[in-house]
Amino acid sequence: MELPLSRTTEDPPMDSSFIGRLAGPLEPGDYVEVLGRVKLLPHSFYVNLQHGCNIWPHPSISLHVNPRFKTGAGVGVALNSWFHHKKRWGREELVRSTAFRPGREFTLRIVQLDDGFQLRVDDKDLTVFKYRSELKEEDIVDTVVVQGDVFIHDVTVGKS
C-alpha cells in the first residue's frame, strides 16, 4: 500500500532538495525510498526522517543519513539522531561504504523496524541503525527531508 508522498511524473524534475510531510506517522514495516543521482564532485548530501517540516528551530531527527565524499570528513555514510529535548546530536556512526558514488544513480530504501531502521542501497544491505532512546511523541517520523549534492528523481513511502 503506497502512502501519498510521491512526486513521480512522466518527466521527473531533477531537484536538489525535497521536504515532504507524510499522511501519517511512519510505523514499523513502512519504508521511505529515495531515487536519485549523486552530483559530480560532491561533498555530501543527507536524508532526514524527522518530526515536523521545519529546519529551524531544529526538529527531532530520528534518522540522519549523510553520505560523505571528502576524505577529511571520513568517506562513507554517517548516521545519527538529533535529540530535540537534549538539543544536541547523538554519537555519530560511520559506515565505511562506497554505495553512493559521484555521478551515479542510486535507490536508498529505509525500512522502519520495531527497534530501528534498516538501510538498503541498490537492493544491498547497508546497515541497521538502532533507535537511540525510547521514542517520545516529538520523535515520531512524519516528514522526509533530502538536501545536498544530489539530484532527486522520486521519493515514495509505502508498506514493506
pLDDT digits (tens, 9 = 90+) for 43-77: 999 999 999 998 888 899 999 999 999 876 678 99
What's this model's pTM, rounded to 2 decimal places? 0.88
pLDDT in tens, 71-122: 766 789 999 999 877 888 999 999 999 999 999 999 999 999 999 999 999 9
48: which 3 cell numbers? 532526514
Q: What CATH number should be reported for the domain holding residue 140?
A: 2.60.120.200
65: which 3 cell numbers? 543519513
Q: Which domain holds residue 128?
A: 2-159
What DSSP assignment string belongs to 43-107?
-BEEEEEESSS-SSSPPPEEEEEEEE--GGG-SEEEEEEEETTTTEE---EEE---SS-TT-EEE
Question: 141 to each of 20, 105, 120, how far by Cα in Å?
Answer: 11, 26, 19
- Cβ pair 157, 142 in contact under 8 A: no
Q: Report how many domains make up the chain.
A: 1
The whole-number pLDDT of residue 134 equals 59
- Cβ pair 154, 8 in contact under 8 A: yes
pLDDT in tens, 122-140: 999 999 999 876 556 656 8
Q: What is the phi/psi pair of residue 120, to 5°?
A: -130, 135
